[in-house]
Amino acid sequence: MTRRALLIVNRHARRGADQADTAAALLRAAGLDVTEAPFEEKGSPSDAIRRHGGGVDLVVIGGGDGTVNAAAEGLLETALPFGILPLGTANDLARTLGIPTDLGAACRIIAAGHLRRIDLGWVNGQHFFNAASLGLSVEIAQRLTKESKGRWGIFAYLATAISVLRYARPFSAEIRCGGELHRVRTVQITIGNGRYFGGGLTVAADAAIDDGELDIYSLEVNHWWQLLPLLPSMRTGTVGTWPRVRALKGREVEIIPKRRSRPINTDGEVTTATPAKFRVIPRAVSVFAPAPG
Per-block average pLDDT, block size 10, for the chain (293 residues)? Answer: 93 71 94 88 80 96 93 97 93 96 96 97 97 83 57 52 67 95 94 92 93 95 74 81 90 94 92 97 98 85
Give the three-state DSSP class for 120: strand
Give the count of alpha carbons within 13 A of 63, CB side only: 26
Measured CA to CA in angstroms, residue 118 lies from 90, 249, 281 at distances of 19, 17, 9
Q: CB atoms < 10 A from the CB of 228, how many?
A: 11
Predicted TM-score (pTM) of the model is 0.88
Q: What is the pLDDT of residue 122?
A: 98
CB 269 within 8 Å of CB 77? no
> For residues 239 and 244, what is the distance between their CA atoms, to the nearest angstrom?
9
> For residues 3 and 247, what is the distance between their CA atoms, to the nearest angstrom?
44
Sign of CA dihedral 285, 288, 289, 293: positive
Q: What is the pLDDT of residue 88?
A: 87
The amino acid sitting at 139 is: E
- Return the H-helix or E-strand segment holding 9: strand 4-9
* Residue 192 zone, left/alpha/beta (φ > 0; ψ -120 to 50; rest): beta
> For residues 210 and 120, what is the distance between their CA atoms, to the nearest angstrom?
9
215: which strand partners? 192, 249
Q: What is the pLDDT of residue 14?
A: 60
> For residues 56 and 81, what is the distance between their CA atoms, to the nearest angstrom?
10
CB 168 within 8 Å of CB 224? yes
